[in-house]
Amino acid sequence: MASSRRLDRAGAGLALVRAVECRFPIAANRFRAARAVVRRTDLRTGGSGELARSSADGRTTGRGRGVWLFRHHCRRAGVATGLVPTVTDGGSDVNTIDDVPTAPGRLPLVGHGISVLRRPLDFVTMLPPYGPIVRIFLGPRTAYVLTTPDLIRQVGLGEAGSFHRDELRDAIKELSTGAVNVLSGQAHELRRRMIAPSFKQGRLAEYGVVAARLGNEWAQSFHDGEMVNVVESAHDLVLRTISSTLFTADFSSNAHDDIQSSIPWLLNEVIRRASLPPGVRPVRVLANRKFVKRSRQLRASIGDVVSEYRKSGADYNDMLSAFIAHVDPETGTRLSDNDIVDELILILGAGVGSEASMFAWLVHEVVTHPEVAQRLYAELDTVVPDKTIGPEHVGQLVYFRQVLQETLRFWAPWVSMLTAAGDVTVGGLTLPDGAIIVFSPYMIQHDERYFPNAASFDPDRWGPDRVSEIDKRHSLPFGVGERRCPGNHFAMLAITLQAGAFLARWRPVPDPDYRVKPTNRDFTASPSKLPVRLHAR
């Protein structure tokens, strides 16, 4: 078989766990077996060398595939801090779609659905040792998970063929039917060109002023000793910030009120609808009626603002003004009112959840890593001595940027899905029309092959003396290629300004009685809650 058609099953049948005292191979997937493995002295002396590999060879399944030990089982056994996949020489040719390995743990009727719902992060990070493409079952449906950055880039850069998100589009059609995230083909390419000027550097400078003002006001609103749920509070702040950068004219106040009252509920409902099979959605009659009603109300409210902007003809230095003014140089096309409403709702829906989640995770990592907190506070005290941050400070916050980049690596979105529009070729393998393609930035960015010591939160990996060791193609927190988030620079800027404003004034102390956990309520693995007590700095 030619090398272009060969899909090496890197690490098939073998993985290692880093223990407190040493490393030992994974040999089972239950707590009882985890405890037994810990007690085996021949495995505890293995490490990552040949001895460990030879010890693990005899502890695979009869089909030559390793049996994975989930992280929480290791932790219960009292030994593990992370997973370290290794690479063996046991490659395997994948000639047809039937040769694609299936992930372990498939159950009748539900497939891998329970694992995906209960342990999504553990589930995706256990897939790479089975091969570059792994088959999973979501109920009765088959999906193909891409486990290497190269394959993900083939799809994202359009080299593999065409893809669509028609199912997501159908799930949210009453709210937004034509935004860039659900368009495909030439329509998607045109829309990306049309909205790109709204995120250029000149516009970002204006948005940064708004983000800094709101962030400083928000940080000043707290009191010494106050208990705050950072997740909830950050959602409110980010929603206010994004809506304020969308439109700033005085006559848009009613739309801002509607956004504040509608978007949180609509966003949660979108996630529920997108997670359900199409045949199940109509059963939720009352929820569907409410979704349709609130979607129409929000679209009408934002649509009124778009109409007023067109009538005024003024540039308010905001995103809506940029959308209205832009003319595509290749086609002469302008965005219609409906197009603009679709994009504004997408920015609100997609931006609020992901940005607020990353804000909260950054605070969580700072408060749980004292050495990181100490260096971050020292930098903020030097750069922002009066505690009032502005866009002019961003370039000087070097260590803060490293902490943010590591947060984006450590807590990247756990899943993204596309559907093949016609036959597509990924890694030399042809997948049929309608095939569901899944990839996980979280999985890639927790793979030791691409990020050594991936289970450790280490901002210094992004420092000037080490950042050259990181292949930028392996960093995927905002996606890749034509599906890359167009608002990534704004998100980075806003989080820096607003989390910086918060941490410049306050030293959050986590609630010792609450354990923060990633949730499965959205695609970004948001923290469940983050209760902290604030102490003035």
Residue whose structure tokens are 């409902």: 269
User: How far apart (Å, rounded) are the C-alpha atoms in residues 450 and 444?
Assistant: 7
Name 167's Cβ contacts closer than 8 Å, sequence gap at least 6.
Answer: 274, 278, 419
Separation of alpha carbons 90 and 87, rounded Å: 9
Closest to 18 measured CA to CA, from 75, 97, 62: 75
Token pair 């950050």 is found at 234
C-alpha angle 442-266-187 in degrees, rounded to nearest 5: 70
3-state secondary structure of 109: coil
Q: Which strand (E) or helix (H) includes residue 18?
A: strand 15-19
Specify the DSSP class assigned to residue 472.
G
Say which residues have a Cβ less than 8 Å from residue 2's Cβ, sequence separation at least 6.
Answer: none
DSSP character at residue 67: P
Q: 124, 64, 70: which is closest to 88 by C-alpha? A: 64
CA–CA dist 340, 310 (Å, integer):
12
What distance in Å separates the CA atoms of residue 117 and residue 92, rounded to the nearest whole number?
Answer: 30
Q: Quick count: other Cβ atoms within 10 Å of Cβ 35? A: 16
The answer for 139, left when phi > 0, alpha when psi is -120 to 50, beta otherwise, is: left
Cα(359)–Cα(498) distance, rounded to whole angstroms?
A: 8
Q: Which of 509, 235, 202, 531 is nearest to 355 (CA)?
A: 235
**Extended beta strands in 465-528, E state:** 506-510
* % helix, strand, coil for the chain, step of 5: 50, 10, 35
Residue 485 annotated as lining a ligand binding site: yes
Phi, psi of 183 (to 5 degrees): -80, 160
DSSP string for 112-175: THHHHHH-HHHHHHTSGGG-SEEEEEETTEEEEEE-SHHHHHHHHTTSS--EE-HHHHHHTTTT
> Can you read off the two tokens belonging to residue 89?
């020489």
Q: Which residues contact 55 (CB under 8 A, 6 or more apart)?
A: 25, 42, 43, 46
User: Among 353, 327, 288, 285, which Cα is nearest to 524's?
Assistant: 353
Q: Which residues are annotated as a binding site for heme?
A: 485
Q: Which residues are annotated as a binding site?
A: 485
